Structure 1
Amino acid sequence: MEAKTNAKPSSLRWAILRQAVLRKSHENPDNQSPSAIKRISRKTHQGFNLIPGQVVEDHVDEESNFRDVRICYTLPVDGSPKLFVKQRVDNGADLSDFEVSNRYNVDSTGLVCQWPSEEVLAYFCLSHADMFRSKRVIELGSGYGLAGLVIAATTEALEVVISDGNPAVVDYIQHSIDANCTAFGNTKVKTMTLHWDEEVTYNISNTFDVIVASDCTFFKEFHNALACTVKLLLKDAGPSEAIFFSPKRGDSLDKFLDKIEENGLQFSIIENYDSEVWKHHQGFMADNDSWPSYDKHHCYPLLVRITL
């Protein structure tokens, strides 16, 4: 019988899930063709267009067949260097992405795209450089790490660690660090594979003046581990804080903040934290054509400031 090649995306996703659970490479679930199961479509996301970027290099890896690009970001501050960020833009998810997620107990959303909240975080950091000067900074769940790279290149931070729990994502970040090494001045910049659900054993507990993160509160199963990680990493001597940008996404953000309080941390929420970001937000709310299906609870990141 001929294998199915036109199955619905939902059917393909269930097939991928079944294959990931069974871990039997020889099995062909639901009679789907291997090529259909291997790749499924991924949702693309629009951004706030705060930091202009254009593709300057386009490359297809012969082994993985993924399409990688290098994007040149022009930072909207005079005298700032251009930043080059390597990321995947292939319109598919590979089974290996799910296998890595299972192996390391992490999600694979960092490989999907440059998320809108990450761009807002990067823009905010660029506009508030003083809060990072001479500080030790870590970005959690960084994805492709635009915000961490911006901090490293423009704020005169002492050290910037750009971390993610997915080692495939960390590889992309390292490529970008190498490509921008001349832009960092005296700032020490490095990557780290950091899992929130493990005890922090990297000799970095009680180390950081500032933690930054964007859109890291969606998965509720990671809330307590993330809150514990924030508490462990923040310096308890001198002022320190975590800066999160996250949409409400139903009750997800509220549930995370419950865990923040349970871990003895304090927080404040700011809705209108930057005039330019707010102007873009209001424009999207007024004009559905500029960002179709824009919903403030799922698209607009609130600023959450967390302290010990």
Structure 2
Amino acid sequence: MDQSKDILDLSQNYRIDLDQVSFVGKTNEKKKAARRRWAILAKALKSPSGSQPSSPTDEVSVRRISSFMLLKTRELPVPPCSDLNEQICKRVWFEYSLSIGQTSFTINVGHRTRTFSAEDLMGFNNTGNVCIWPSEETLSYYACANLGLFLDRNVLELGGGMSCLAGLFIAKYAASTTVLVTDGNRNSVDNVQAILQCNTFSCPTSCSLLKWGEAPRTALQYDVIVSADCLFFDDARHDFVECLHQYLAPGGLALVMAPQRGSTLDHFIIQSETRGLKCKKLIRYDETVWDRRMQLLNQDEYNDNIHYPILVEVTKP
């Protein structure tokens, strides 16, 4: 195993300043990762207007390189619901599944069959409309492995992208009081609205547009908030922290999953604690995820800094 890639060395008791870690060819690695992300978006723009969007295992996707192989996908021959309206029929449908022990968890997910215009991709971040990223994959797995965290709780997902996968797994299996899944992009919300029609949930479940920088539409607060890979853009982090503080009930818990990505995660923690929230950074939060990480360390394309999702537990005193 190439020890230079194990930036989360346990001998440091999980305390490490990634800015002080020297990577060989670090600049080139960052450029390659950026090119891969933009290649996904470029492919969507250049594809014929009737083509399908990138699948969760698309060969150009960063997720294929960094997948923790927790999710399995199966294309469905027909839409998985009886009401075949236009919103349902214009999507290609997949069954997303994961297994924990002997228990299987499944969600039906629709992929838009239209490509993305330049207008779609400009302005608000739309990367969540393209594929499932590792943080969402691992957050979904962690949620299903810890369903008791959401029992009889009001749950909110922030920045859920085109699938709001973690929130919907919770809504289907955790017996929560209510679940609201949200994103700041209208295309994502429209897609999730269609997904809601093709699944059965254990509690009242809804989806709405929520942009972090806007004034809240309601004073309602939530017992648990979940969010995956929402720290990527520096200029949106302040609004995200404010949104967490606004919507998290006193004594509530937020589960924020994101890679270290340089100092990005640490800046989020600093900003959150400055705002009065308390943060606990968990690296080895699940043994299955940890074992998959150890296997990936041997792959040339894998980089802990940008691929391994870290869990931050955020509480509001």
TM-score (norm 1): 0.75
* Aligned position for 1:225: 239
* Aligned position for 1:51: 71
Cα distance in structure 1, aligned partners of 2:47 and 2:99: 42
Written as runs of structure 1 = structure 2, the 5 A alignment for 1:39-118 is: 43-44=60-61, 45-46=63-64, 47-57=67-77, 68-77=91-100, 78=102, 80=104, 82-88=106-112, 93-98=116-121, 101-102=122-123, 106-118=124-136
Cα distance in structure 2, aligned partners of 1:297 and 1:58: 40
Q: What secondary structure does 1:278 align onto?
A: helix
Cα distance in structure 1, aligned partners of 2:73 and 2:175: 23
Written as runs of structure 1 = structure 2, the 5 A alignment for 1:136-147 is: 136-143=154-161, 144-147=163-166
Contiguous gaps of at least 5 residues in structure 1:
1-9, 17-34
Q: What secondary structure does 2:222 align onto?
A: coil
Work out which structure has the larger RCO, using CA pairs closer than 8 Å and 6 or more positions apart in sequence: 2
* Residue type at the aligned position of 2:304: K
* Aligned position for 1:168: 187
Matched-pair contact (CA < 8 Å) for 1:206–1:232: no
TM-score (norm 2): 0.73
Total equivalences in the alignment: 254
Matched-pair contact (CA < 8 Å) for 2:156–2:222: yes
| 1:122 equivalenced with 2:136 (yes/no) | no
Compute the displacement of 1:76 (Å): 1.2
| 1:189 equivalenced with 2:189 (yes/no) | no
Q: What secondary structure does 1:74 align onto?
A: strand
* Aligned position for 1:256: 268
* Residue type at the aligned position of 1:83: I
Compute the displacement of 1:96 (Å): 3.1
Cα distance in structure 1, aligned partners of 2:78 and 2:130: 17
Compute the displacement of 1:81 (Å): 5.4
Cα distance in structure 2, aligned partners of 1:95 and 1:70: 25
Residues 231-278 of structure 1, C-alpha deviations (whole Å, 9 max, x = no match) = 110112xx3111001001122112222211221111010100000000
Matched-pair contact (CA < 8 Å) for 2:98–2:104: yes
Residues 14-37 of structure 1, C-alpha deviations (whole Å, 9 max, x = no match) = xx9xxxxxxxxxxxxxxxxxx969
Cα distance in structure 2, aligned partners of 1:254 and 1:56: 41
Question: RMSD value over aligned CA atoms?
Answer: 2.8
Cα distance change of structure 1 residues 58 and 94 upon mapping to structure 2, 3 Å threshold: farther
Cα distance in structure 2, aligned partners of 1:287 and 1:206: 45
Cα distance in structure 2, aligned partners of 1:284 and 1:88: 31
Compute the displacement of 1:94 (Å): 2.2
| 1:276 equivalenced with 2:288 (yes/no) | yes
Matched-pair contact (CA < 8 Å) for 2:128–2:188: yes
Compute the displacement of 1:57 (Å): 4.4
Mean Cα displacement is larger for which, 255-264 or 80-89?
A: 80-89
Residues 161-181 of structure 1, C-alpha deviations (whole Å, 9 max, x = no match) = 110000100011111111003
Cα distance change of structure 1 residues 178 and 36 upon mapping to structure 2, 3 Å threshold: closer
* Aligned position for 2:298: 286
* Aligned position for 2:224: 210
Cα distance in structure 2, aligned partners of 1:226 and 1:88: 27
| 1:265 equivalenced with 2:283 (yes/no) | no
Cα distance in structure 2, aligned partners of 1:253 and 1:68: 35
* Residue type at the aligned position of 2:74: Q
Q: What secondary structure does 2:99 align onto?
A: coil
Cα distance in structure 1, aligned partners of 2:293 and 2:241: 28
Cα distance change of structure 1 residues 80 and 286 upon mapping to structure 2, 3 Å threshold: closer
* Aligned position for 1:4: none
Matched-pair contact (CA < 8 Å) for 1:196–1:225: yes
Residues 98-156 of structure 1, C-alpha deviations (whole Å, 9 max, x = no match) = 3xx43xxx211111111111010000000000010000001100011111110011110
Q: What secondary structure does 1:272 align onto?
A: coil
Matched-pair contact (CA < 8 Å) for 2:105–2:169: no
